[in-house]
Amino acid sequence: MKNLLRALIVFAALLGVVTWAQSGSRDAEGELLREITDLREEAAHGLPILVEFALHACPYCRVAEEEFLKPMIRSGAYEDRVLIRKLSMDRRTVIDFDGQEIRTHELAARYGARLAPTVVVLSPEGELLSRPVVGLKTVDFYGGYLDRAIDEAEQAMAERGQSEVVAAR
């Protein structure tokens, strides 16, 4: 009986250590996809900003994040192309591109984010650079939809850059 009790205590302790270790890795992963609180701060990087409009209790948002957005960040392939961020529509307010506080539902409406997840790619000035990716239509094609949105944004930024050079002459 004593041996059984000791075995149960050891098992419980090991289970606790494993649970603690996994929760720590989940916390580290949570930081991988940063949540936006200040769009002006993100814009200072000078890159297009891919924004996932999400809700905390949205299972489709979790799939988009775990199966697509976080792997995109981990890969490093998007590092110099686009900032990948999350904007929780559960949050009351964020700082807009002009430095003013704005309600998240107003910001979401500006970019047509009526469903979660909706992914948009914005210029550092807050201009919509590509068609929004609304919902999680087909998991098989979702990564392609995201890549297309990023490609469209890069093309729009390049065209805008060329027109600014022409205007400056």
Q: What is the pLDDT of residues 80-135, one digit of tens each?
A: 999 999 999 999 999 999 999 999 999 999 999 999 999 999 999 999 999 999 99
The CA–CA distances, whole Å, from 153 to 32, 101, 131, 148, 158 equal 22, 25, 9, 9, 9
Cβ–Cβ < 8 Å for 47, 81 = yes
Lookup result for tokens 């090991």? 14
Q: What pTM value is reported for the model?
A: 0.78
Comparing C-alpha atoms, which of 11, 56, 48 is closest to residue 153?
48
Query: How crowded is the C-beta side of 103, counted as CA atoms within 13 Å?
Result: 3
Comparing C-alpha atoms, which of 80, 78, 158 is closest to residue 119?
78
